């Protein structure tokens, strides 16, 4: 998210006021059409950006952002979400990951010579580049087989 949200004057510290939060606490910030706006160092605890939530393996859980975080005089900003409303994001289980690995490996295994390539083999053909180019050279690709 880029773009100027609020101008420098409206974010002036003298225009800041104490905003009552969802938990009854107060924090110094600005009001932007009913949405609390906080500066980086002034942002109260219990709020996190989407990026911070992701780092904690959380997601907003369908909740609207509670506040806005601004820095660089309002040139940069991000939504802030309530941590108490955030939900754990769906993380694939080890079994699912293993299945995914296997599926990926299957997509990289040549049908002809059986080697596992570093790239994805086109499903229409199913052969690795060596086997495909081997066609043109009229060599036997089976020599690659282990
Ligand atoms: Zn091959």
Distance in Å, CA 103 to ligand 1 centroid: 18
Question: How remote is the CA of residue 141 from the centroid of ligand 1, in Å?
Answer: 7
Q: Give the distance (Å) from ligand 1 centre to CA of residue 114.
A: 6
- State in Å: Cα 94 to ligand 1 middle: 30
| Shared domain check, 106 and 66 | no
Q: Looking at the structure, tell me whether residues 83 and 17 fall in a common domain.
A: yes
Q: Are residues 64 and 103 in the same domain?
A: no
Same domain assignment for residues 53 and 102: no
Residue predicted with more confidence, 90 or 30: 30
> Does some domain include residue 4?
no
45 domain-assigned: yes
* 115 has pLDDT over 90: no
Q: What is the pLDDT of residue 135?
A: 61
| Residue whose C-alpha is closest to residue 9's, from 38, 30, 28, 40 | 30
pLDDT at 36: 94
Q: Are 38 and 68 in contact (CB under 8 A)?
A: yes
The predicted structure's pLDDT at residue 12: 84
Give the Å distance between the CA of 104 and the centre of ligand 1.
Answer: 16
Q: Is the model more confident about 34 or about 8?
A: 34
Query: How many whole angstroms from 40 Cα to the centroid of ligand 1?
Result: 55
Q: Are residues 80 and 98 in the same domain?
A: no
Is residue 115 assigned to a domain? yes
Give the tokens for residue 79.
Answer: 């939504």
Q: The pTM is what?
A: 0.58
Model pLDDT, residue 102: 84
Same domain? 74 vs 99: no
Q: Could you list which residues have their CB under 5 Å from ion ligand 1?
A: 110, 112-113, 128, 131
Our count of domains for the chain comes to: 2
Whether 28 and 78 share a structural domain: yes
Looking at the fold, whether 72 and 119 belong to one and the same domain comes out as no
């Amino acid at each position: 998210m880029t773009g100027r949200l609020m101008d420098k004057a409206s974010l002036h510290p003298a225009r800041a006021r104490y905003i009552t939060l969802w938990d009854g606490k107060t924090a110094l910030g600005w009001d932007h059409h009913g949405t609390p706006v906080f500066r980086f160092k002034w942002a109260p605890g219990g709020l996190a950006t989407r990026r911070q939530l992701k780092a904690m393996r959380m997601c907003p859980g369908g909740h609207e952002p509670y506040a806005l975080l601004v820095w660089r005089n309002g040139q940069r900003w991000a939504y802030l979400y309530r941590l108490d409303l955030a939900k754990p994001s769906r993380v694939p289980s080890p079994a699912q990951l293993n299945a995914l690995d296997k599926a990926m490996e299957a997509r990289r295994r040549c049908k002809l010579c059986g080697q596992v390539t570093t790239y994805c083999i086109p499903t229409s053909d199913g052969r690795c580049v060596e086997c495909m180019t081997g066609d043109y050279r009229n060599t036997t690709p089976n020599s690659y087989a282990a």
